[in-house]
Chains A and B, each alone.
Chain A
Amino acid sequence: MAFTAEPVARAIEEFNKLPGIGPKSAQRLTYYLLCSPDEEAKALAEAILALKEKIRLCSVCLNITDCDPCLVCQDKERDHSKICVVERPLDILPLERTGRYKGVYHVLHGVISPAQGIGPEELKVKELLSRLQDSSITEVILATNPNVEGEATAMYLRGIILPLGIRVTRLARGLPFGAELEYADDRTLGQALEGRQEF
């Protein structure tokens, strides 16, 4: 890009590395920032820097946080005897949005995926087991995704947690609100039937 000033070319190149951003979008974003007020560009730059400098993993639940332990783990109001195990930090957000869960979390940072060579050693399973040494923990809720890999991970964890004498539960499976029976797959519908409740 001989006609582009070096800082502009560099910004375009960096934007281009982001997922879902092609060369054209990268150019558009760069020129947008170029024309935007100084404060806006600075705020973005600072936000990105802070992301890398201040964010780390909570030493307890391994969620991403800017204070250690994270706000959830610090909260005395929450029920620390229940641990909800999730695949990724992002999975905590929808669970929190429900407003129904008052326990704490544990983030695995991945799922068992044999075809990609990801086994339990690559996940934060050891950290989970050392948390479970605490006798006050009464329940582990397995909230990995209901797909093949999430299910394999859940079954594996059940196998190693049950012998510790801790109750292991799994998020229920059933029909999502607004769904149609016609399109439900057999497994989901079967489990929705098995898990039916008094109405």
Chain B
Amino acid sequence: MGAPRSYQTQAIIIKQIKLGEADKILTIYTPEFGKLKAVAKGACRPRSKLGGNVEPLTYSLVLLAKGRNFDIVTQSQTIDGFLALKSDLWRMACGLYILELIDSFTMEHSENRPLFDLLLDTLHQLCQADSSEIILRYFELHLLQYLGYRPQLQQCVNCDSPLKPVVNFFSPGQGGILCPRCSGKEPMSRLLSVDALKILRFWQNCDYTIAKRVKIKSELSLELEQILQWYIEYLLQREVKSTAWLKELRKRIIS
């Protein structure tokens, strides 16, 4: 007997692309195997038993059969459909943004259990709370950490001296903070306020329930967003497409 021909796993559906007449290629994120691509046959048909269970932003239990190129989804049952997320335009946009980040940063078949837990936790958090901006920033910060890009926020990345409570500089190339003395040596660096640094340090070492207690003003929130997205885009070497949609929605909410 060879290896078993089918296996079961939990999965968060990240993306789907239509394939042929009625099939879909799913990109799923699993705790045991990391990111996978699998085919959901007939999922576009109204009577498909997979249909709603394999939509993006769904946490499902799936049974996969080994296939030649892609594995094939043979059964699927929703564990959590994140309905609160799907019935609100803003929250849905936040959810799609974090899915895009996961998809962009991960490779297929590379297991990362903490990242799976973070993703699942974040989707749950987005369903409950109003503090979606904090949740997004917390997610970005910890995503970077679990991928090996944890920003160094304690000492200067150049001279190792402890950082003082003054305006410092963030350098995406060095992956952390530069003290004012070293900032001249790195042309690609940006100012980082004392408050922003404090919050990033605080978030780096706490869980969601505590992270959400922080009250931040809109300017500080914007600063944190810009710094983290700058770092993310530096690492990806391209822009994250969903951010345009988030910005557009934010404008509409304000107006």
List residues of A whose CB falls within 8 A of some B CB. 20, 112, 114-117, 119-120, 147-148, 151-152, 155-156, 159, 176, 178-180, 183-188, 190
Contacts and interface: CB of A to CB of B under 8 A. Distances in A.
Contacts of A116: 241
B40 interface: no
A186 B89 contact: no
Interface residues of B, number: 31
Contact of A114 (B20, B51, B245): B245
In the A-B complex, list the 6 residue pairs whose CB atoms are closest, starting with the nearest: A185-B52, A183-B49, A114-B242, A114-B245, A117-B241, A176-B46
28 contacts: A112-B245, A114-B96, A114-B242, A115-B96, A115-B103, A147-B55, A148-B92, A148-B96, A151-B86, A152-B92, A152-B93, A155-B89, A155-B92, A156-B89, A159-B89, A179-B47, A183-B49, A185-B51, A185-B81, A186-B52, A186-B78, A186-B81, A186-B83, A187-B52, A187-B78, A187-B81, A188-B51, A190-B83
Contacts of A147: 55
A71 B107 CA distance: 50
Contacts of A185: 51-53, 78, 81
B89 A152 contact: yes
Interface string B48-72: 0101110111000000000000000
Contacts of B89: 152, 155-156, 159
Contacts of A20: 20
Nearest to A146: B52
A118 to B, nearest CB: 9
Contacts of A188: 51-52
A115 B17 CA distance: 12
A106 to B, nearest CB: 20
B207 interface: no
B245 A178 contact: no
Contacts of A176: 46-47
Nearest to A117: B241
A115 B86 contact: no
Given A119-B245, A185-B52, A186-B81, 7 more contacts: A117-B244, A151-B86, A152-B92, A176-B46, A185-B51, A186-B83, A190-B83
A68 B55 CA distance: 38
Interface of B: 15, 20, 46-47, 49, 51-53, 55-57, 78, 81, 83, 86, 88-89, 92-93, 96-97, 99-100, 103, 241-242, 244-246, 248, 252
A114 B83 contact: no
B248 A119 contact: yes
- Determine chain A's interface SS by DSSP, over half rule: helix
Contacts of B78: 185-187
Nearest to A183: B49
Contacts of B241: 114-117
A187 B83 contact: yes
Contacts of B103: 115
B22 to A, nearest CB: 13
A114 B100 contact: yes
B47 A151 contact: no
Given A148-B92, A148-B96, A152-B92, A178 B55 contact: no
Contacts of B93: 114, 152
Looking at A116, A119, A148, A152, which has the most chain B CB atoms within 10 Å of its CB?
Answer: A148
B100 A115 contact: yes
A18 B4 CA distance: 38
A114 to B, nearest CB: 4
A176 to B, nearest CB: 4
B203 to A, nearest CB: 25
A152 B249 CA distance: 11
